Amino acid sequence: MTTTAELVAAIMAAIDDLASASDDRERRRHRRALVRLVEELEARANDAARQLEERVPGTKCCFRGFDWRASLADL
């Protein structure tokens, strides 16, 4: 299991790889890798939000429901 910091670093590297891709095939490959990494980060964030909401009554995490896939679709 990687740390969250390592996961964020991998996401940043994947963004750089996507930006430097030379053709559509390479861009698709890098985009898929980026999506997998962001999905992992989303799962961790949702788990942390759930734990926070369970431990602190009345707390609601506002980032839930953010459609990051729509943002990645433009890349």
What is each CA distance from 38 to 54, 55, 59, in whole angstroms?
24, 25, 24
Higher pLDDT, 72 or 44: 44
- In the predicted model, is pLDDT for residue 69 greater than 90? no
How do residues 5-64 score in pLDDT, each as one tens digit?
Answer: 999 999 999 999 999 999 999 999 999 999 999 999 989 988 988 898 899 988 887 766
When divided into structural domains, the chain yields a total of: 1
For CA atoms 11, 14, 18, 20, give the dihedral sign.
Answer: positive
The number of residues in the chain equals 75
Tell me which residue range forms the domain holding 41.
Answer: 4-73
Whole-structure pTM over 0.85, yes or no?
no
